[in-house]
Structure 1
Amino acid sequence: MRLASQSALVALATAGHAAVISPSRTSSVPEYFQTSFGPWAGPTEAGAPPFLAQTNPAPFGNPTYIPNTPVVTDVPIPGRSDGAEIFKLMGNLSPYMPNPSGFGVNEYPLPAGANITQMHMIHRHGSRYPTTGNAVASLQDRVSELLQGGARFKGDLEFLNSWRYELGKEELTALGRQQLFDSGVLNWFNYGRLYDPSKPLIARTTSQVRMLQSAENWLNGFFGPDWTKNVTLEVLIEATGFNNSLAGDKQCVNSNNDRSSAGDTASSEWQKIYLKNATERFRRSMTGHANWTVDDTYNAQTMCPYETVGLGYSSFCSLFTYEEWLGFEYSLDLSYYGSNSFGSPTGRAVGVGYVEELVARLQRHFPHPAEGSVAINETLDDSATTFPLDQSLYLDFSHDTDIMSMLTAMGLTQFAQFLPISGPPDDQQLIVSHIVPFAGRFNIEVIKAPQPVRAKRPQNAHASAYESGEETTYVHMLMNQRTIPLGRSLKECGDRDDGWCELQTFVSALKENIPKAKFDESCYGNYSVPAYGDITDGAI
């Protein structure tokens, strides 16, 4: 384990007191090449930090400003209706977007007098190149093999005769860096006033390159280029055998073997169904005796999102119909449901460490996991230096599969609906692109209200949202800027219009869900490999 900065936390200058900066007398760099603020920088004054999460009267209206996107996503797709966009159908490979349809509950502003006092964020890294061993990288060898065997591509596939694989590996693309920077800016507007300059923060990420890049770009967006004056970045080792709640799969053996592979098996079966016509179409666009398979077609389809976020445009995108892109999304939904969520025997266990930490932070004490069920780093989580308990902002960075498991470990059964291999069910809830797209995140707000807030919000804007009673503290959870209705999964929270849950009720519900992970048995048990559909509650 290492800290990004081993020095003591650096306090900001007190507001209103300027720091005197003298020109260096020993620097060999000419003055005109020095970029630090010098004696001629001119006067500045910081404005008040924003607090849109609390003050916005319309939390999720229509966008009034749509920035230019640096990548080409307006691709002509056969069968696409007006307004439909395939880049919202790419599961975990989708570029970031707010959830387009919500989670079944309306968005409400805070009632007058209520205050957000704390925010807990867990954030996925931004758009990246393929990971090591990803099958998509094998497509060039496959195409070369066919060409060397005498095959030639024609029609829409003609570009493959000269196509080359040009993607990197593992790290963020430029778009990924932008996504995290933009998210930092967005979260500053929403929660900037929660930051106390007299108390620099500890934020956490993992040691993988893209995780460090993501945290640093987000913090740059939130605080600006001098973010190291505001926060110390704690870097948790992400490697097999190291306890790390932000990468729980590394300490859960059975999450990395066949016992947690049912989702991938189900996805492969679905690919044979929805890509049958596409595979035949590809074969008709080849000459020679090419043995083009469904796996080849799926790799070609997967190349579309990867090339788009890495190179800005991909010729592979328009090779598939809109219906086939709907099928692509569902292939990833099946994979995540069966390998990382309620359909996996390790679905809860991989994410339960973060839930233990969340409960501890909400109650302001160090985590106390059950004997023999350690899903956290007990050394780091038992020190106020590395696991502070008095922050108003908790900022953590993790991976898509881990975040999916965290939601499972919380017991958010809204996403436990079984997904059949034959095709999407009605009212499908677990849609990966809505939950963990590139740069996906959830924010948990702690809200103090002077009185209980009515479960049924008044329709009259002038009517009070309060009922009689004492001060009450609530939890409001957002996933990609849309509210998760906590009562739909945690029945103790009740059926509320706003999806909120009373804090103590929420904490009690999480505590009840922690042992359901069966951490030791699920992660280290020598049980038979479950078939897809055998597991429905995220644990063995």
Structure 2
Amino acid sequence: MAQPRPVIGGQEHLQTHFSSPAESSPSHSSKKVPFPSSSWIRAHLASKSPYPHESKKVKPLNKEDMPLDHELVQLHLICRHGTRYPSTSNSIAFRTLSEKIRKVEVPGFEWLQTWHAETIYPTTKGALLAPQGDSDLYQIGRRFAGRYKDFLDQHPYDANTYQFYSSGKSRCRQSAYGFTVGFLEGRHAGDLDKIVPKMKSRTSPVQPVDISTVPLGLDKELAVKFACPRWTESVKGQPKVVYEANTYDDRVLPELAEQLSNRYVSQGGVALVNFTRKDVQTIYTACGFEMSFYGNDKTWCQLLRLASPVRSLESRDHHASEEDIKSTFLKLEISSDLSRYYTYGPGVPFNRHLGCKLATSLLESIELALAPDADYSTGRRTSSSHDDEDDASKLFRGQFKFGHSETIMFFSSFLGLYNKKGVRMTATMTPEQYEEREFKTSDLSPFAANMAFEVFRPKAAKSSPRKWRLSDEDGLSPPPIQGKVRMFVNEEPMILPGCETELCDWVMFKSILERAGARCDFETCCSSLGSPSEDTPSLARLETMGEIMQDENQDELDGICLAVDPITG
């Protein structure tokens, strides 16, 4: 015979202490339970935040958006994969916690009785791209197609002019494909049906696209942490790296767990569920997936209302205020940000070097596009004496790369996007300081986060008839490369630190990236500290954490990581 589930207190106590998410007790039936708006919650779920499609509109690129007497010649996109399933460990944590708390009946939380993690987030789908993830990238692709319609009309897709490059993870490859469907929807290479109308019924309704990948461990741009032994040894999980996050968690999480446990007591004060700090983090993570998958704040997100402090237990209305509930969400968001700030962000100066190869390929590709002797008919420079098929020497109209959350964070750190004030994020900052922090993963790296670059070339540059060489017999050298680059973060224009306007002059753009470390010696920079190479003896002198964490040693670290001169290459 099944044992009845415990009920917290008598019915009257239940209706005042716990109310449904929709309304309060009968005596307060006209009053809504305080809770932040869905839109507010969506914007404070750290790296599990859903992409804010609702705030993005198609903004067609027109003459007013372009620099005078310039033309758009190249596009770049660096994108995180779309919404994914929870990892297997997350799904197991959801299942364990739901089984733990469904034993107690709580009015307003009846959904727990039928909520089964294995059905909603199967462990067999751990970390795979979710249906919403397909939609994320498809929608972004559609908006890009709308903005660059004229560019696509003028330069239709083929594998020699557009490059799609993905991390080796399936969720990234699928995200790349989802983007291409939206970006090239209604288009087809060669428009064969226009040439031979009867072929229309034989062509694929979706444009086949070449998507390149590099195996994990070899990918130095998109899955770079797997290709950098030094980062694995000296940053990942190291005591000094996780110190601030752990210190903050030690101060904040036990209180949240205690407040939640105190809400799960019988009328006699007996604790029916003992929540741990890990449980609170699991609830926050589950809330993030529920919002990103389904836009649902009526399940796990509501449990964070019970983890929020109640000002007066003497009152008949035992609800936390909306501001206190927001404070609970913010504390968990800050906990997540502190961890990522040091593991992937500017908190560890070494992290910025993990963006150097991505910066190098961006720099070299733009330089090819802006060169006066760029020949788009051949995809090469006319001064080039080789005809190899190396992608690094190809002239692409567009390059689109699909990676991970850390891809965005490493590259953002390289560019200095979220460390302009130089204020280090710590465990002891005031609420006001946390509010003013630059590093907010909810904003910079939600699911499908992206960075884009528009490259504009002076129109006069394309008409030079001379095939310039670096050393002609008459002593002439190529004219200086000119152009402008505009950066977007999550589809909104952003001024690159060091530039004065959104449209950054190429000379300045190049200088900023080179000073930051583009053209770095990645292999030397990422060499294992445990087995330094003979030609880099200075590596053997490095203390594992000292030079990684301390700003005063950054010059020496740069000397190692930037073995190739950043200006001359």
1:208 counterpart = 2:217: no
Q: Which has the higher helix share?
A: 2
Matched residue, 2:485: 475
Against the structure 1 CA distance between its residues 501 and 188, is the aligned structure 2 distance closer, same or farther, given a 3 Å change threshold? same
1:514 counterpart = 2:492: no
Contact residue 346 and residue 522 of structure 1 kept, 8 A: no
Distance 1:309 1:483 in 2: 24
Matched residue, 1:260: 236
Distance 1:257 1:291 in 2: 36
The one of 376, 384, 389 equivalent to 2:394 is: 389
Structure 2, unmatched stretches of 5+, are: 1-21, 24-31, 57-63, 191-206, 266-270, 305-324, 370-386, 461-479, 531-542, 559-569
Contact residue 206 and residue 212 of structure 1 kept, 8 A: yes
Matched residue, 1:197: 156
TM-score, normalisation: structure 2: 0.64
Contact residue 80 and residue 407 of structure 2 kept, 8 A: no
TM-score, normalisation: structure 1: 0.67
Distance 2:549 2:326 in 1: 28
Matched residue, 1:308: 291
Against the structure 1 CA distance between its residues 528 and 295, is the aligned structure 2 distance closer, same or farther, given a 3 Å change threshold? same
Q: 1:501 deviation in Å?
A: 1.9
Distance 1:100 1:414 in 2: 26
Q: 1:291 deviation in Å?
A: 3.3
Q: 1:117 deviation in Å?
A: 2.1
Matched residue, 1:180: 137
Contact residue 172 and residue 402 of structure 2 kept, 8 A: yes
**SS of equivalent to 1:434:** helix
1:154 counterpart = 2:131: no
Q: 1:433 deviation in Å?
A: 1.8
Distance 2:185 2:164 in 1: 15
**SS of equivalent to 1:330:** helix
The one of 281, 286, 305 equivalent to 2:259 is: 281
Contact residue 176 and residue 211 of structure 2 kept, 8 A: no
**SS of equivalent to 1:504:** helix
Contact residue 154 and residue 285 of structure 1 kept, 8 A: no
What root-mean-square deviation, in Å, do the aligned CA atoms of Structure 1 and Structure 2 show?
3.8
Q: 1:181 deviation in Å?
A: 0.3
**SS of equivalent to 1:260:** coil
Q: 1:426 deviation in Å?
A: 5.7
Structure 1, unmatched stretches of 5+, are: 1-73, 102-107, 366-381, 452-469
Matched residue, 2:178: 217
More off after superposition, 514-523 vs 218-227: 514-523
**SS of equivalent to 1:292:** coil
Distance 1:306 1:352 in 2: 32
Matched residue, 2:468: none
Give the greater-gyration-radius structure (CA).
2
The one of 360, 381, 391 equivalent to 1:356 is: 360
- Spell out, residue by residue over 1:319-360, the C-alpha distance to the aligned partner (whole angstroms, 9 max, x if none): 221222222322232122101121125412322211111121
Against the structure 1 CA distance between its residues 277 and 384, is the aligned structure 2 distance closer, same or farther, given a 3 Å change threshold? same
Matched residue, 1:121: 77
**SS of equivalent to 2:50:** coil
Distance 1:285 1:157 in 2: 13
1:429 counterpart = 2:445: no
1:418 counterpart = 2:427: no
Matched residue, 1:29: none
Distance 1:244 1:522 in 2: 10
- Spell out, residue by residue over 1:178-207, the C-alpha distance to the aligned partner (whole angstroms, 9 max, x if none): 110000010111123333127542211122
Matched residue, 2:414: 409
1:441 counterpart = 2:418: no
1:340 counterpart = 2:350: no
Q: 1:472 deviation in Å?
A: 5.0
Contact residue 89 and residue 325 of structure 1 kept, 8 A: yes
- Spell out, residue by residue over 1:45-72, the C-alpha distance to the aligned partner (whole angstroms, 9 max, x if none): xxxxxxxxxxxxxxxxxxxxxxxxxxxx
**SS of equivalent to 2:517:** helix
Q: How does 1:445-524 map to 2 (within 5 A)?
A: 445-448=454-457, 473-486=483-496, 489-490=497-498, 493=499, 496=500, 498-514=501-517, 519=522, 520-521=524-525, 524=528
Against the structure 1 CA distance between its residues 183 and 263, is the aligned structure 2 distance closer, same or farther, given a 3 Å change threshold? farther
1:269 counterpart = 2:239: no
Contact residue 254 and residue 260 of structure 1 kept, 8 A: no
Contact residue 357 and residue 519 of structure 2 kept, 8 A: no
Q: 1:126 deviation in Å?
A: 0.5
